[in-house]
């Protein structure tokens, strides 16, 4: 399921003005189409210098032949992101394993610390995957083509902000023909075209029976993103001993504050992280 989740997330900041966050007012008429709301929202979000975000990620597996209960893996946390430098810092909590992490992205390098232990630097080619608003706002016209349905739902309030509520269904055939996506599939190992095509075919098979939906909440006064929600339901085929089951992946990201002062620095001392030997 991990490659598909990476694909789904990959479909997921210089402003001035009058609001308490330094955001200019950008109101739209009530009759605005969902496409117009999305385009204006992405453009407004792209003009913020920095932001704070809170996220929750969970994977839920229903009872199967091997277990009689619903299992859930959950990760939650928060962070601050500077758009000009691309640097970020934050904290994650992994309740299932009673573990907490601090992490830093600085000058293209990733660092992490388990609770109060030593800091580690991830080797070249390895990075934490964090919410990237720049990915959402890049090449807006191409981004909009990645969805086969865009609907406006009833307006809602998110963190005391009145928001437009937009639902989207991705167009995976369009996504999988995107050059940037193909480069992501190749990865650091620089796979051959045959290997890349094989991986894409495998993803397509996994997605045939998947139900994937995106939801966006866009501030009605400033048009910046306030929340994104990704909901993935994926069929895991069974065998003679184990019946098929549907796993659910949910990622929610809130953007409560923009244009904050972000100070990111690498740890004073760190060690290069190495994968444990098998």
128-141 CB burial, b ≥16 within 10 A, e <16 = bebbbbeebbeebe
Instruction: Please state the length of the chain.
Output: 278
Q: Which residue(s) pair with 103 in the sheet?
A: 90, 112
Is residue 14 packed enough to be buried (19+ CB in 10 Å), middle (13-18) or exposed (0-12)? exposed
pLDDT band at 27 (very low <50, low <70, confident <90, very high): confident
State the average pLDDT over residues 130-134.
Answer: 51
Residue 96 CA to residue 29 CA, distance in Å, equals: 45
State the average pLDDT over residues 220-243.
Answer: 84
Lowest-confidence range among 50-54, 176-180, 201-205, 254-258?
176-180
Mean pLDDT of the chain: 78
State the average pLDDT over residues 132-149.
Answer: 60
Q: What is the pLDDT of residue 9?
A: 42
Pair 49, 83: CB distance under 8 Å: yes
Q: What is the pLDDT of residue 115?
A: 84
Q: What is the pLDDT of residue 180?
A: 62
Q: What is the pLDDT of residue 84?
A: 87
Residue 278 has pLDDT above 60, yes or no: no
Q: What is the DSSP letter of 67?
A: B
Taking residue 181's Cβ as centre, other Cβ atoms within 10 Å add up to: 19
Residue 202 has pLDDT above 80, yes or no: no
Q: Is 257 helix (H, G, I), strand (E, B) or coil?
A: strand
Residue 118 has pLDDT above 70, yes or no: yes
Residue 227 has pLDDT above 80, yes or no: yes
Domain map (residue ranges) of the chain = 2-71+130-257
Taking residue 63's Cβ as centre, other Cβ atoms within 10 Å add up to: 12
Q: What is the pLDDT of residue 72?
A: 77
Residue 12 has pLDDT above 50, yes or no: no
Where helices occur in 85-228 by DSSP H, the ranges are 133-137, 140-144, 172-175, 179-186, 193-208
Residue 31 has pLDDT above 70, yes or no: yes
Kindly report, residue by residue over 86-104, the tens digit of the pLDDT: 899 999 998 878 899 999 9
State the average pLDDT over residues 178-189.
Answer: 57
Q: Global pTM?
A: 0.78
| Residue 104 or 237, more confident | 104
Token pair recorded at residue 77? 């946390």
| Residue 17 or 203, more confident | 203
Kindly report, residue by residue over 38-84, the tens digit of the pLDDT: 989 988 988 899 999 999 999 887 766 566 656 778 999 999 999 88
State the average pLDDT over residues 206-221.
Answer: 84
> Chain centroid to CA 174: how far?
19
| Residue 185 or 273, more confident | 273
Token pair recorded at residue 195? 């290997």
């Amino acid at each position: 399921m991990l490659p598909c989740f990476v694909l789904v997330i990959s479909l997921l900041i210089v402003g001035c003005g009058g609001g308490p966050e330094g955001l200019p007012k950008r109101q739209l008429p009530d009759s605005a189409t969902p496409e117009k709301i999305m385009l204006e929202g992405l453009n407004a979000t792209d003009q913020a210098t920095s932001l704070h975000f809170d996220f929750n990620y969970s994977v839920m597996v229903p009872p199967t032949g091997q277990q009689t209960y619903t299992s859930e893996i959950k990760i939650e946390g928060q962070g601050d992101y500077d758009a000009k430098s691309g640097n970020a810092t934050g904290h994650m909590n992994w309740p299932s394993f009673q573990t907490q992490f601090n992490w830093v992205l600085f000058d293209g390098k990733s660092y992490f610390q388990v609770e109060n232990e030593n800091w580690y630097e991830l080797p070249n080619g390895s990075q934490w995957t964090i919410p990237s608003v720049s990915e959402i706002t890049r090449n807006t016209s191409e981004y909009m083509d990645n969805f086969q349905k865009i609907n406006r739902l009833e307006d809602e309030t998110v963190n005391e902000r009145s928001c437009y509520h937009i639902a989207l269904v991705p167009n995976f055939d369009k996504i999988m023909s995107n050059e940037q996506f193909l480069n992501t599939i190749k990865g650091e190992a620089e796979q051959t075209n045959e290997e890349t095509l094989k991986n894409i075919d495998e993803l397509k098979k996994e997605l045939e029976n998947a139900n994937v939906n995106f939801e966006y909440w866009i501030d009605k006064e400033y048009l910046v993103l306030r929340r994104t929600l990704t909901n993935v339901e994926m069929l895991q085929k069974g065998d003679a001993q184990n019946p098929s089951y549907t796993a659910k992946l949910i990622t929610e990201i809130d953007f409560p504050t923009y244009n904050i002062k972000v100070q990111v620095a690498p740890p004073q001392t760190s060690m290069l992280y190495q994968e444990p030997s098998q």
